[in-house]
Amino acid sequence: MPGRILRFGVFQVNLGARELRKHGVQIRLPGQPFCILSILLEKPGEVVTREEMREKLWTADVFVDFEHSLNSAMKKLRAALGDSPENPRYIETLPRQGYRFIAPVEEIALAELAAAIPPTETVEMPTVPALQRRWPLWLGIAALLVVLAAGIVAWSRARARTPLPTRLTIAVLPFENLTGDAAQDYLSDGLTEEIIAQLGRMDPEHLGLISRTSVMHYKHGNEEIGQIGRELGVQYLLEGSVRREADRVRVTTQLIQMKDQTRVWSRQYDRELNSLLALQSEIAQETADEIQLTLGRGPKPIAASRKLAPDTSYAAYDLYLRGRYFWNKRTGEGFRQAADYFQKAIDKDPNYAPAYAGLADTFALMSSWTQVPQNEFMPKARAAALRALQLDDNLAEAHTSLALIAENYDYDWQTAEKEYRRAIELDPQYATAHQWYAECLSFEGRFAEALSESERARQLDPLSLIIATDQGAILYYSRQYDRAIDQFHVVIAMEPNFARAHMVTLPYVEKGMFQEALADTQSWQANDSRAWESQAYIYGRSGDMLKAERALATAKWNRTRRTDTLDLTVVQAYVAMGKKEEAISVLQAAYRQHSNLVTSLKVDPAFDPLRGDPRFQELLRHIGLGQ
């Protein structure tokens, strides 16, 4: 099998290298779909039963939902080939039996490749008259060789003068879970995230890493690697797969250079599960070494990986990975499950700093995602962050969480800035630190610095919806309304239901584009009850107080069915409708509850009518944003 190259239609398959190409361009095909293709190509024209595939793809001691896993893998394979079960060109489905590869298959053997090269001919020396007759031809060939040689020398000198790139970027694509059990996704996702983190700590000055949020867009996708490279703007891709069986794990990886889509190297690692931490470092180091050689530098060691007590290392780490898996879902239920797993990891190893950092991250965001007052979760977040830093002061995540607490709960802007800067110093590749620091700077009115940090976050995580949206918010706060509208539209085009991007109504209103603002709220009204509050604000700003009152009444009725008691859009509606007393009252209550609702008061144009009120100015002084 290794070394065989097969061709069918416009496709070429290298079975040994596990590569599928179309018109010479490599197509990303995950592990199981590629294995199915290999099995079918072993017996073209013959029926391969589903039972045969099960025996070859999954061992008997691994439990999977076989039917679901096989159907899912076959769907990905057909998508890569542009095939369909209804009108098959390559793979025919035989109901209740199996599958058959129906296209003609041609093997490209080494012997054929050698035969394509003409053999060296034995010729007799020509006589002098013959040489004389051919002399003009030899002169022409000699002249051509001189020109070619001169060109090569010139090219070599120019290449020698061309400096090597000073900074390269790499994306670690989501490692594919080959167990067939979706419950094991946390392991492959966690491996992806940890390798990103370790590579990011290697040489941030010369090597940029795309953040997890952006690469996860390609999980289970069928995009070609060339397309992924262009969309992320990287020079290298690292892709791989994970198969877990009992207490062992097999990880395969390959590093691909984007300029010509060639494999720099590929590896397969078989390890005990309890050596997974060391394996991550090994993969990251080998990847780093290859890229360092490309940069013309010697290998550079990666910072030491996170360490645990030997007796609980894998158990605690496994729980930590499960916690990060649910934390990244960014849902109320996901945060609750994450908190539970992080706490279990701490119970396994009370000295495991990353688990405390994960718990701090979770509690710091839970208030915003579950509409629970910040007084309930922020003290827990602070305790977890401080404990993480007591165990390991070099954890960027813990410093970032502490900064967010200082900003959104304590209104302590100096401490927040100090902690954000420390986090970025420790891990310049941590996009969230740049994102939250940018928001913090914007609340203080430091817009040039804020946009610089926001742009850095966007470069690290180019497909992140929240980072792109926050950049739009900063543009709005800085009163660059046209640019803000354009930025929000970029996000809405990516995901129309991303609620925060519908802040676009705010710059619309500032430009007097009331119809556009109303049209936007109506487009997402069915999915978010807060649309009525936005409409109350828009009607109030346009001077239609009757419609504003009706919209506000509907919003209040909807609010009786919600658990949250404070909402920024309601306050904005009060201001737009001239209800200053109600607006001030809600803002004062928010301050007493340590709510992050008041953090944008200094810069939000919607609050301009309140700026002459002494109570508003006093509130700004209380939260550290007074003049």
- The residue behind tokens 């010509």 is 260
Q: Which pair of tokens denotes residue 264? A: 């720099």
Q: In whole numbers, what is the pLDDT of the chain averaged over residues?
A: 80
Average of per-residue pLDDT across 376-404: 94
Has residue 469 been placed in a domain?
Answer: yes
Q: Which pair of tokens denotes residue 64? A: 């999977």
336 and 404 housed in the same domain: yes
Which residues make Cβ contacts (< 8 Å) with residue 165, sequence separation at least 6? Answer: 235, 295
pLDDT band at 451 (very low <50, low <70, confident <90, very high): very high
pLDDT at 303 over 80: no
Has residue 162 been placed in a domain?
Answer: no
pLDDT band at 438 (very low <50, low <70, confident <90, very high): very high
484 and 544 housed in the same domain: no
Nearest-CA neighbor of 443 among 421, 419, 412?
A: 412
d(CA 299, CA 279): 18
3-state secondary structure of 598: helix
582 and 525 housed in the same domain: no
474 and 550 housed in the same domain: no
322 and 298 housed in the same domain: no
33 and 75 housed in the same domain: yes
pLDDT band at 339 (very low <50, low <70, confident <90, very high): very high
d(CA 401, CA 418): 12
pLDDT in tens, 188-217: 887 787 788 777 777 777 778 888 778 888
Indicate the helix (H) or strand (E) that contains 286: helix 276-294
Domain boundary among 107, 126, 145: 107
365 and 511 housed in the same domain: yes
d(CA 148, CA 157): 14
611 and 584 housed in the same domain: yes
Average of per-residue pLDDT across 231-242: 87
Residue 179 is part of which domain span? 168-305
Has residue 266 been placed in a domain?
Answer: yes
Report the amino acid identity of residue 254: Q
604 and 463 housed in the same domain: no
Could you tell me the strand order of the sheet in which 5-8 lies? Answer: 25-27, 19-22, 11-14, 5-8, 106-107
pLDDT for 331 equals 79
User: Please, how many CA atoms are within 13 Å of residue 199, restricted to the half-sphere of its CB?
Assistant: 31
pLDDT at 229 over 80: yes
375 and 479 housed in the same domain: yes
Packing angle, helices 313-327 and 353-370, rounded to 10: 20
DSSP for 364-383 reads HHHHHHHT--HHHHHHHHHH
d(CA 428, CA 336): 29
Number of domains in the chain: 4
DSSP 87: S
Q: Which pair of tokens denotes residue 368? A: 């915003």
Domain boundary among 273, 305, 337: 305
pLDDT band at 183 (very low <50, low <70, confident <90, very high): confident
Of the chain, the percentage scoring pLDDT greater than 90 comes to 34
244 and 339 housed in the same domain: no
Give me the CATH number covering residue 53: 1.10.10.10
Has residue 362 been placed in a domain?
Answer: yes
Give me the CATH number covering residue 173: 3.40.50.10070
Has residue 21 been placed in a domain?
Answer: yes
Cα 200 → chain centroid? 14
pLDDT band at 435 (very low <50, low <70, confident <90, very high): very high
Specify whether the CB–CB gap between 373 and 563 falls below 8 A: no
Has residue 137 been placed in a domain?
Answer: no
259 and 292 housed in the same domain: yes
Which CA distances in Å does 534 have to 95, 407, 504, 517, 573?
54, 26, 11, 9, 7
Paired strand residues for 170: 209, 236
pLDDT for 394 equals 92
pLDDT at 619 over 90: yes
pLDDT for 144 equals 41
pLDDT in tens, 321-332: 888 888 877 778
Average of per-residue pLDDT across 597-610: 96
DSSP for 185-233 reads HHHHHHHHHHHHHHHHTT-TTTEEE--HHHHGGGTT----HHHHHHHHT
Has residue 122 been placed in a domain?
Answer: no
pLDDT in tens, 109-124: 544 444 443 443 333 3
pLDDT for 311 equals 47
Instruction: Pick from 115-119, 314-318, 617-621 the range whose average pLDDT is largest.
Output: 617-621
Paired strand residues for 101: 91
pLDDT at 471 over 90: yes
Has residue 158 been placed in a domain?
Answer: no
pLDDT for 251 equals 84
Report the amino acid identity of residue 338: A
Instruction: Pick from 99-113, 186-200, 397-411 the range whose average pLDDT is largest.
Output: 397-411
Exposed/middle/buried for 242, CB within 10 Å: 0-12, 13-18, 19+?
A: buried
Domain boundary among 305, 323, 358: 305
